[in-house]
A and B are shown apart, each in its own frame.
Chain A
Amino acid sequence: MVLLVLTAMTATAKILQPLINMSANVKAAQRLGEVARHMLLYAGKPADWGRNAQTIPEEFGLAETEASNPYALDIDKVSRLNSENIYGLSYAQIYTSLKAADLSFRIEIKPVFNVKVNQTATFEDSNETTYTFEVATEKDDGAPVSAVLKAYVLTENLLQALTIQNVDGRTSFNITLPKDLESPAVLVAFAKSTYNDRVVSYAVYSLTSSSGTTSKRGFLRLSPINHTLTVTPISNETILEKVYALTFNGVWQPTKTENHTFSIPASVDPCPTVLVAFGSHATQSFVEWTAYPQIPVEVGVDFTSLLSISDVYAYTSLVSVGRGIYKCTIFIGGLKP
């Protein structure tokens, strides 16, 4: 009789064990999903922590204050997740304000599709250089995206603009520049989906000027926040020459408000505003850029290189930042149940 009872208990335990484990895993996944949603739907405390550069949030949340739609993220809170921004939050600050001591996480916000710029050929004659570019608009899985492209070639004193209807997700075009350029040049390509103009992306490609100077990032820190660009040179030898703001619809020079701060007008365009700064360091001229909102952004633990003891869950959401639609993936790992 005892043997029978023990056998029955063992068999029952064996049968129930996977179901109990599955239930625990489902509960863990649901809890982590709620934490991810909380980050996107809660504005944090104080609710306007994004636009005040010195404010560290007591409670973390990325939602826009008084947002009219769910999953609308604040342009400044998103920009302050970027480590290139001098007002950016560190992982420790986000971790503390999230108030979930048993969780580690990673937040990635990027466009729904990518713009890939490739320089395929260069033709030189006595006065000019012609560059041939191939531009592909595609999703992460390589699926082509039909889009309207707007490309700008910008140097310190020269601007060219092209509008290209990119029907099948891949197109090519030529750009001709004088050989005696004194500053580096950049190609800025904006793309809007043909089917919904709020689904946008952009790419910046650096061109080497004939004088041998190269476009190198690292002489300035460009920090857009609260519709103001703060430019921070890394040394006293760095001289800022000009700053341009580019959107899908136009180019302008932002108004200088104070020393090394520029006003960024509110844009109704869903595309981000690309901010390009020309300058020189010692004898070398350079060009650097950033975008407002400062997307793409990646912050947090790199789970791929971590020998983690936890299960990691990924939650992908569609969010709006400004008027544009972006993809946000939050990876969250916790202790094994």
Chain B
Amino acid sequence: MKGRNSGQIRIIEAFLAIFIIFSAVAISANLPTKSPNPANDSLASIGMQALLQLDSDGSLHVYIASGNWSRLREALNLLLPAGVSFNLRVYDAQMRQINMETVSNGGFNSQEITLVKYVCTGRSPEFRCYVIYLYLAVAK
């Protein structure tokens, strides 16, 4: 009789152990592997706004169409906050890179790089569409 009770307790223990293990697995599976970083959101937002402001009067298209990469670099350098590193790549509609000159204010030495994708269009002298990738990082 005593041995049979002991067996029942072992079964309950086994179920409890399985429950604990499965609970741990279920909880850990729902934990975010990497929490969203508000600083990255803020960086992406300011990068997008810099491109929006340059595009709002057509300056962005003019810089790209004329290949004036140094002017584009300086304009971004002015608009982005101090301590933000950037690297900008411009592609045409077929995703061929247009800027052969580097549009950047220095090398990235941060692990956390934020990417802003932006589509810029212009009508003069003919309709053109450019895809802009702006990589941003906080300089450390």
Contact = CB atoms under 8 A, between A and B. Distances in A.
Interface string B41-82: 110011001101110110100000000000100110011011
Interface string A176-202: 000000000000000001111011000
B112 interface: no
Nearest to A142: B82
Contacts of B82: 139-141, 143
Interface stretch (B31-39, B92-100, B117-125): B31-39
B35 A113 contact: no
Interface of A: 1, 5, 8, 12, 16, 19, 22-23, 26, 29-30, 33, 68-72, 112-113, 139-141, 143, 145-146, 193-196, 198-199, 313, 315-320, 323, 325
Interface residues of B, number: 31
B75 to A, nearest CB: 4
B11 interface: no
Interface string B16-38: 10001000100100011001111
Interface of B: 13, 16, 20, 24, 27, 31-32, 35-38, 41-42, 45-46, 49-50, 52-54, 56-57, 59, 71, 74-75, 78-79, 81-83
A210 B42 CA distance: 52
A33 B38 contact: yes
Given A140-B82, A195-B71, A198-B57, A317 B41 contact: no
Given A195-B75, A318-B79, A320-B53, A30 B38 contact: yes
Given A26-B35, A33-B41, A112 B78 contact: yes
